[in-house]
Structure 1
Amino acid sequence: MTYKTILIDQLTACYNDKSWFIPLAEMLADLTVKEATTENESKQTIGAILNHLLYWNETWLERFKAGEIVLNHDIDNDETFSLRSDQSDELGWKETLSRLENVFGNWKTVLEESDEAKLTQQLPEYFNAPWWGVVSNLIIHNAYHIGQVMLLKKQIRKGL
């Protein structure tokens, strides 16, 4: 096994390969926009969690493709959990689902096309971590929030 095959396997398990848990694509397949925008007692919504996942996956994908890291220290991580008003309708929900499919698909493609040398490259601007470590942590981050989405979906379906 290589870093590449492990990362692709982990990424696929998060998005569309049912293994230890229900993958995100399957979890969202029957979710309505109303459910995605329903707040729990902590004011969390599935849509906001998905926006957070989109922000970090799209950001790190662009960094990976560019081959360099430009950190934005001005970003407030809480802001990545925002839900835009245009995401509260069917068109906005479909756009969110499409963006998720695209970013996970693009990650898979980029990883498939990468060589091991890139994955072992150290990133001095990011704690000197290797790319494989950064991508692996991003995937763990995805799995964590996918678990939150699953719990929130169950709460919503039970009437909170």
Structure 2
Amino acid sequence: MSSVSQLAKRFGEVMLDGLWIANTNFKDQLKDVTWEQANTKIANLNTIAMLTFHIDYYIAGILNVFEGGELEIKDKYSFDLPAIESQEQWEELLNKLWKDSEKFATLLEQFPDSKMNEVFVDEKYGTYLRNIDGMIEHAYYHLGQITLIKKLILSKNE
């Protein structure tokens, strides 16, 4: 398996269907979260909805580059979640995350291995490999937060 295929598989595992590293993934953790739970504030932690928006913000931003566009995302906007006021709006956010994640993995898998050592947009961002590895690590970091916040919400409701 090429290194690009391995990266695409690792990304898909954390977002959509893996169990190997964390014994869970975003899709598994979020499948039964209601919009009310997604908006539940626990102390000074981000909400599940905010973290979901945040991770998709970066996936969509990098995906835009994969598709030949510019890197248009800015860290300062990465938590600017529009209000989620219904189950339908929550499901729209989730569906966007799944769609973006699937597309990200599919496009990544099509890259030649040699692309991984190329500069990603600007030298200050490093290589494609650095950014893709960073996206996977970023996703696992927030998956852990979502998992813990979900447990806190569920234990509060018992």
Instruction: Give TM-score scaled by structure 1 length.
Output: 0.87
Amino acid in the other structure paired with 1:110: L
CA separation of 1:93/1:124 partners in 2, compared to 1, >3 Å: closer, same or farther? closer
Give the Cα–Cα distance (whole angstroms) in 2 for the partners of residues 110 and 9 of structure 1: 12
2:100 match = 103
CA distance in 2, matches of 1:123, 1:30: 36
Which of residues 116, 119, 122 is equivalent to 2:116?
119
Distance 1:112 1:93 in 2: 29
CA offsets, 1:54-84, max 9 Å, x none?
1111001111221x75466xx353x422332
Query: 1:92-120 CA distances to partner (integer Å, 9 max, x unpaired)?
Result: 01101101101110011101211112222
Q: Could you tell me whether the CA contact under 8 Å between 2:120 and 2:127 is conserved in 1?
A: yes
1:28 is displaced (CA, Å) by: 0.7
The separation in 2 between residues aligned to 1:114 and 1:133, in whole angstroms, is: 15
Show structure 1 runs of 5+ residues with no match.
Answer: none
Selected match of 2:80 from 79, 82, 91: 82
Q: What is the deviation of 1:144?
A: 0.5
Judged with a 3 Å threshold, the aligned counterparts in structure 2 of structure 1 residues 115 and 76 are, in CA distance, closer, same or farther, namely: closer
Q: Tell me if the contact between 1:14 and 1:143 (Cα under 8 Å) persists in the aligned partners.
A: yes
Q: Which residue of 1 aligns with 2:134?
A: 137
CA distance in 2, matches of 1:128, 1:152: 31
Partner of 1:48: 50
Contact 1:122 1:130 in 2 (8 A): yes
**TM alignment of 1:23-34, pairs within 5 A:** 23-34=25-36
Q: In 2, distance between residues paired with 1:43 and 1:147? A: 13
Quickly say closer, same or farther: Cα 1:126–1:159, change in 2 above 3 A: farther
Quick one: distance in 1 between partners of 2:146 and 2:125?
Answer: 32
Cα distance in 2 between the residues matched to 1:76 and 1:113 = 27
Aligned to 2:2: 2
Alpha-carbon RMSD across the aligned residues, in angstroms, is 2.0
Task: State the partner residue of 2:14.
Answer: 14
Change (3 A) 1:123 1:8: closer
Instruction: Give 3-state SS (helix, strand or coil) of 1:81's partner.
Output: coil
Cα deviation 1:2-53 (Å, max 9, x = unaligned): 3202211210220121222111101111111111010110052100111111
Aligned length: 155
